[in-house]
Copies of this chain bind each other. A is one copy, B any other.
Amino acid sequence: MVVVPLDTKREWAARTGLQPILDLVASDLTAVNEVILGRMESNVARIPELAGHLIASGGKRLRPMLTLASARLCGYEGRQHVLLAACVEFIHTATLLHDDVVDESALRRGSPTANAVWGNQSSVLVGDFLFSRAFQLMVDAGSLKMLGILSEAAARIAEGEVLQLITTNDTSTTEDAYLDVIMAKTAPLFAAACRVGAVMCGRPREEEEALTSYGRNLGIAFQLVDDVLDYSAREQTLGKTIGDDFREGKITLPVILAYRRGNDTDRAFWHRTLGEGQQESADLDHALMLLQRHGALAETLDRARHYSAIARDALLIFPDSKVKDAMLAVIDFCIERGH
C-alpha cells in the first residue's frame, strides 16, 4: 500500500497555517501512522485494502495532530498520546466510511470513495472493524477516563449524523437547529481529541475544559468553513467537488441564510431543488448566484470567525509556547482555507 508521504503533505501544509503544528509533531505523527498501519491489519485482506484506501489517501490527520499537540502543550512525555491519536483517526475514518454510505457519495478528496469501489456492504463492515479497533487502542492506552471521553464522543457523533439525516431536505431548518447538528456531528471528536491531551497529563479541570472548548469551537468553525467550501472550493487544490451538499439535499448554513434572506421565488427554488430534490443542470449555478447575492457565504465565514475567536480565547490560560502558537495557527488555517 502506498501512503501519501509526509513530504507531500508538508508541501501542501507549507502554504497553510498547519506548518507549525506539523513541524512540532512530525516524529510523533510518524509513530501514529505506524500504529494506524499496524492496527488496520487483518487476515481478511479486504479490510486493510479498503481501510488503507481512505486512511492513506492523504487526509490532513488534523484530529490526531490536535491530540499530539494538546498532550505536548500540557507537557506530556509518555507514549499514550500516540495510541490515542491513532484511535481518534480510526474513529474519524470509521465515521467517514459510514458517512459516504449514508450520503451515497462517489468522491472524497478527489478519489473514488470506498463504497464506490468495494460497495456499501464492505464499507459498513470495515467501518465497524475500525471502530472496534479504535476501542482496542483505547484499552491499550489504559485509561478508563479517556475511554469514557472518546466513547461519549462517538455516541454524540452518531446522534449528530442521525439528526443531520432527518434535517436533510428540510428547508425550514433554522440556524439553531443546524448548529445542534454540527455541535453533535463534528465538534465532539475535535473536543475529545484535544481534551485527552490534558487528561493524560492529569492537568487541572480548568485546563481540561480550556482544551475542550478550543477543540469544540475549532470543530464548529472547521465545519462551517467546510460548508462554504462546498460551494466555492477550487477542485484541484482541495480535492473537493463543488455542489456535493447541494446534490445531496443537505441543508447547511449558507443555504439557511440565503433561504431566510430571499424572496418567495428564491424560497420556491430552494424548496424544489433541496426540499424535493428536483434539480436541473443550471440549478447549481443559480444556487451559487443566490448565495452570492445574499452574502450567504461571507456571512457563514463571519459565523465561523465567531467560533474561532472563542477557540483562540480558550487557549489564553496556557503560558506562551511554540506549541500554543502552533495551535493558534491551526485556527487561522481553518478560517483561511475558506478564502
Residues of B within 8 A of A131 (CB): 128, 131, 154, 158
Docked complex: A148-203 residues within 8 A CB-CB of B: 148, 151-152, 154-155, 157-159, 161-163, 165-166
Say if the beta carbon of A234 comes within 8 Å of chain B. no
Cα distance, A44 to B164, chains bound together (Å): 10
Cα distance, A95 to B125, chains bound together (Å): 9
Chain B nearest Cβ from A185, distance in angstroms: 10
Residues of B within 8 A of A162 (CB): 44, 46-47, 122, 125-126, 129
In chain B, what residue has the closest Cβ to A135? Answer: B151
Say if the beta carbon of A147 comes within 8 Å of chain B. yes
Say if the beta carbon of A1 comes within 8 Å of chain B. no
Most buried by B among A133, A139, A144: A139
Residues of B within 8 A of A122 (CB): 162, 165
Q: A139-B151, A154-B135 are in contact. Are A159 and B101 (CB under 8 A)?
A: no
Say if the beta carbon of A124 comes within 8 Å of chain B. yes
**Which A residues form the contact surface with B (CB < 8 A)?**
42-44, 46-47, 94-95, 98, 101-102, 120-122, 124-129, 131-133, 135-136, 138-139, 142, 144, 147-148, 151-152, 154-155, 157-159, 161-163, 165-166
In chain B, what residue has the closest Cβ to A121? Answer: B102
Specify the main secondary structure of chain A where it touches its partner.
Answer: helix
Cα distance, A42 to B161, chains bound together (Å): 13
Instruction: Please tell me how many copies of the chain the complex holds.
Output: 2
Residues of B within 8 A of A47 (CB): 159, 162
Indicate if the CB atoms of A139 and B147 lie closer than 8 Å.
yes
**CB<8 Å pairs between A and B, sample of 30:** A43-B159, A44-B163, A44-B166, A95-B128, A98-B124, A98-B125, A98-B128, A101-B120, A101-B124, A102-B121, A102-B124, A102-B125, A120-B120, A122-B165, A125-B165, A126-B158, A127-B128, A128-B154, A128-B157, A129-B158, A129-B159, A131-B158, A132-B152, A132-B155, A135-B154, A136-B151, A136-B152, A138-B147, A139-B144, A144-B144
Most buried by B among A154, A157, A158, A159: A158
Closest 4 CB pairs of A and B: A132-B155, A129-B158, A132-B154, A135-B151
Residues of B within 8 A of A138 (CB): 147, 151
Residues of B within 8 A of A127 (CB): 128
Residues of B within 8 A of A133 (CB): 155
Cα distance, A165 to B162, chains bound together (Å): 26
Indicate if the CB atoms of A139 and B132 lie closer than 8 Å.
no
Residue in B101, B136, B155, B161 whose beta carbon sits within 8 Å of that of A136 in the complex: B155
